[in-house]
Chain A
């Protein structure tokens, strides 16, 4: 930490300018390829597959789709199939076979409005249990899908009749450490964070972080939930220790104001759950490490357990562009490799060094 050389370095390995707005980019598991998704200026959607080769990203495949694609996940597919699930501007949830991406293998009109966020679990060996996809939309609902069931969601989390519908900006799976337990966390534009327990089909916890929640992510989906990072519109992020839930105080958290602008994304390193990267609205990336406190829980005055938050350390920060970095994805296979895309119509492959020594 002391000398600059021992710090992790963020290296821009490949930069590729594209002719469309990129909303999301994702590594294809068990490969050196990534998918990038977005919309053409003419209002159609696009999905491209690139392969990283000899220090370049080579376009392998490109398909145009009728609607701009907002988000994607590989979370609910098997390693062999590696089907990508996408949500588009029209509220559709599609699952594509990347070998034949022309026709979806699964398609459903999931929401009335744009699907802002998607996440999957139960595939890729991540999380026991059934493969499930969760989508969050501007229509205020969070829906849970099972690719084995056509047409209707297996669970729907929406505000009751008559209540104002909040734009759901982000969803994430977690707590999937056996085949029954599973949680979905959703973040809303008003700063609400809600944690849904899918086993009991109930709202387990909620809080408000005062500003729109741009991104939430559990440090790992497939463990007894451990930490949750929520990023917000005004440049703050909160790390919740999810191990101990106090009846009134909820989960302990630590917050850090890091970026001067919105934090669009947070992604945990797949190889080390305590390291995560945040992507900011000013085109910068911050690499953080969470340090656990000496004791993760303590007794309050009424002798009830309450969590103790740790602290976050900035490991490295860089500025990539003047435009927001809207998506970020770590390679699940190669530690330190990540792909990110911003509104400057550029997709970048980054290498983060020395992650194993921090």
Chain B
């Protein structure tokens, strides 16, 4: 039996065009973004200060992300896009990659840092030993970084399955469900749990199961 082993993979160097989310924008690591003074903002996105873009809501950001991935029909293209997102994630240094910040339940190692800024909005940083997981984290942070706690807590994993990326999700968009390798779900749940913890801490309450490390 002859086997056609033609290459299906374009291993040419990666695209240097930033993800759609960052179009018309210079890549700016999240940690270097300055919040403009004397401006009331509900949320912020990664924008270059010389080209102020309209502030996007969480919902808008999600829709942009979904439509971006929707347009990529081949798995390899979705993975490439995830790797592009991984590349713009600042990551954590050694002091951040600690057990206390680990996200439970992932097949890869994922570390997550959650803080509430002075305006009461949630800020996230993440890292992983897997590039695809970093990409997932990057996407989640794109959508949720700077959001109000209620927006973070109201976000559902079903919102992510439309993106049709990742382990356990088929072309027909079947929900990845409770598989142990569902990074999306585990990271989002960790974001939400730690957000809940910080909210309660702010209100002077204790959340059962909270082991706030910040």
Do A and B assemble together?
A: no
Chain B residues at the A interface, C-beta cutoff of 8 Å: none
